[in-house]
Structure 1
Amino acid sequence: MDRVVEQGIQGVSALATTGEGSLTGGRPAPGGTDRRRRRSTAGWLLFPSLTLVLAGLILPLALMARTSVAHFDAASPDLVGFTLENYARFFGEPFYLMILARTLLVALSCTAICLVLGVPAAFVISRVESRTLKTALILATIIPLLMGNAVRAAGWMVLLADKGLINSALLSAGLIAEPVRILYTGSAVVIGLIAVLLPFMVISLESVFENIGTAYEEAAQTMGAPPWTAFFRVTLPLAMPGVFSGCLLCFVLAMNAYATPVLIGGPSFQMMAPKVFEQAIKVYNWPFAATIALVLMAVTLVLSVASSLALQKRYGVL
């Protein structure tokens, strides 16, 4: 009897190996074919997006990299030769390193201030129970984004000028004897950029706080934690993905800001993006302009990736 059972098992194994005993007669199951067909269709759907990325990002970056190592010839726009003198000029002259350091300082300052202002604002909005009031607050937050940066910068110029509204109010109140220099300073640029970037921070954080809900805070308070302790020890760590997204967005936008530094900072307060425009359009030195742009992009990318890795190591999130 045992021999018969053993022979039966061997026969079934042989049929399974050859596929002759399968219900489909050795042919692949219909479900597998459908899955492969769906994968093929999904691949074709990605083709337009990949083509757009290739044509709109990869190729221009490659061209810019080639331009950055070309000789500058004011008499000819052609890319001639190969040289690293543009990079040597940038990193060898303290003037350009100072502009890079200033840009980093402004971007980090704006990001930190936006975080300090955005966290409480986003938290309050997320805890509003009235849907009508919450919608009104969100609309009030994003309305400034409906205007261009140049329009907003022009408004700040009216406020911060020597004879602007702020100085006029201070003079009328007797708080100052003469106008205070605010426009065309680093402080004015930071103020203008914060007005541009703060809505991005608030919107990024509000949705995260709303998804977290109040259950964790209530549980912490039930265990005896004060509201502030519950927020900083429970809610805020849970919101770190949103905090990182908001900070990254503000930092990248501040590093590459153009209209606000040009209009509010003026020629006395130079940053990287306006310097790229100056070298490309006014001086016609496209190789050096490409060098500045690539350095700006590389510094922004390195700092963004480093902060992402640090956050992942600390909180286990990207």
Structure 2
Amino acid sequence: MLQKDFKRLTLYLLFAPFALWIILLIILPHIGMVALSLREKVAPRVYEFGFANYLDFINEPIYWNTLLRTGSMSLLVTALALIIGFPIAYYIAKLASNRTRGALFLLCLIPLWVSDLIRAFGWILLLRETGIISSFLVWSGIAGQPIEFLYNDAAVIVGLVYTVMLFMIVPLVSTLDGMDNSMIEAGYNLGGNGFTVLRKIIVPYAMPGIVSGCIVTFMLTAGSYLTPILLGGKNSSWFTEQIYNQFITRFNWEAGAAFGILLLLFTSVVIWLGLKLSGQTLANTVAKS
């Protein structure tokens, strides 16, 4: 009996840091955000319970248009990251040698060694009017004058795809690494071509990794702030900028909290729809990646 109680106590002690992390850094802050978003200011330092902050969002087209725009561009970034990352992940998992695999993983990790701010400024050095790409085009005679590649949606998408690529590749490699090569050989032996084997064997097997990578990539993209602001400027509105403006510029914490909750709900609904359409669940995607 004493040994059983000791094992139970050990389990509690091991689980306690994780439980505290979940409660203190995730659950309680979100509860506080919900409570703050439901405070309606009726007079200086006088608040009442109400949904005025959410009604302000609904009644102002620029807010929900920006949210929908952020969602659509996040889906585009996720799709591009999947299209680019899947061949890389397949090569790392099934074709590369052990030494090459480690080197490729290191190349994928290098961008994470610096902050988002430094990476964004790196893209600014490349894409600005006097940057490396524009100067090369002028020097080679391809362009007659300097070209400004910054401050548009294309620059934001490029920067975001670069930022989230690793989070797409890692779950794909983890899933594809467990696939038996004999499954691919059987597909070819049964008369299938490369596209058929990819569509009927490789992609269905990798679906948990695909969905897991898409979930993480979409959430990171929709919640990004620095990259859209620095690379897109005023020409590329992002919903996180609206949240920042409410908190910092307008000192309207109640509206900022409401916008934050709406962004969380919106991304959760998109992920739920994605899981339904793909036939996957969180248990066999994120939990296994």
Q: What TM-score do the two structures reach when normalised by structure 1?
A: 0.82
Query: Matches of residues 227-238 of structure 1 in structure 2 within 5 Å?
Result: 227-238=194-205
Residue 72 of structure 1 deviates from its aligned partner by: 4.2
Aligned to 2:23: 54
Identity, in percent, stands at 30
Q: Which amino acid aligns with 2:149?
A: I
Contact 1:114 1:194 in 2 (8 A): yes
Q: Which stretches in structure 1 are left out of the alignment for 5+ residues?
A: 1-29
- Partners of 1:72 and 1:269 in 2: CA distance: 31
Structure showing greater Rg: 1
Structure-1 residue corresponding to 2:126: 159
Alignment of 1:66-85 (within 5 A): 66-72=35-41, 76=45, 80-85=47-52
Alignment correspondent of 2:160: 193
How far off is 1:280 after superposition? 0.6
Aligned equivalents of 1:125 and 1:45: distance in 2? Answer: 35
The equivalent residue for 2:11 is 42
Question: 1:285 corresponds to which residue?
Answer: 252
TM superposition shift of 1:244: 0.6
1:263 to 201, 224, 230: 230
Report how far residue 140 of structure 1 moved. 0.8
Structure 2: unaligned runs, 5 residues or longer: none
Alpha-carbon distance in structure 1 between the residues aligned to 2:193 and 2:236: 45
The equivalent of 2:97 in structure 1 is 130
Partner of 1:220: 187
**1:96 maps to which of 55, 63, 67:** 63
Letter in 2 for 1:59: L
The reply on whether 1:64 has 2:36 as its aligned counterpart is no
Matched AA of 1:215: S
Residue correspondences, number: 284
**Structure-2 residue corresponding to 1:204:** 171
**Structure 1 residues 47 and 134, CA gap change in structure 2 (3 angstroms):** closer
Q: Pairwise CA RMSD of aligned residues? A: 2.3
Could you tell me how far apart the structure 1 residues matched to 2:280 and 2:261 are? 28
Deviation at 1:73, TM superposition (A): 7.8
Q: Distance in 2 between matches of 1:216 and 1:62?
A: 48
Distance in 2 separating the partners of 1:259 and 1:58: 25
Give, in whole Å, the separation in 1 of the partners of 2:280 and 2:209.
Answer: 16
User: In structure 2, what is the Cα distance between the partners aligned to 1:110 and 1:223?
Assistant: 36
Q: Does 1:311 align with 2:278?
A: yes
Distance in 2, matches of 1:61 and 1:119, equals 34
CA contact (8 A) 2:211 2:280 kept: no
Instruction: Give the 3 Å change call, closer, same or farther, for CA 297–129 of structure 1 in structure 2.
Output: closer
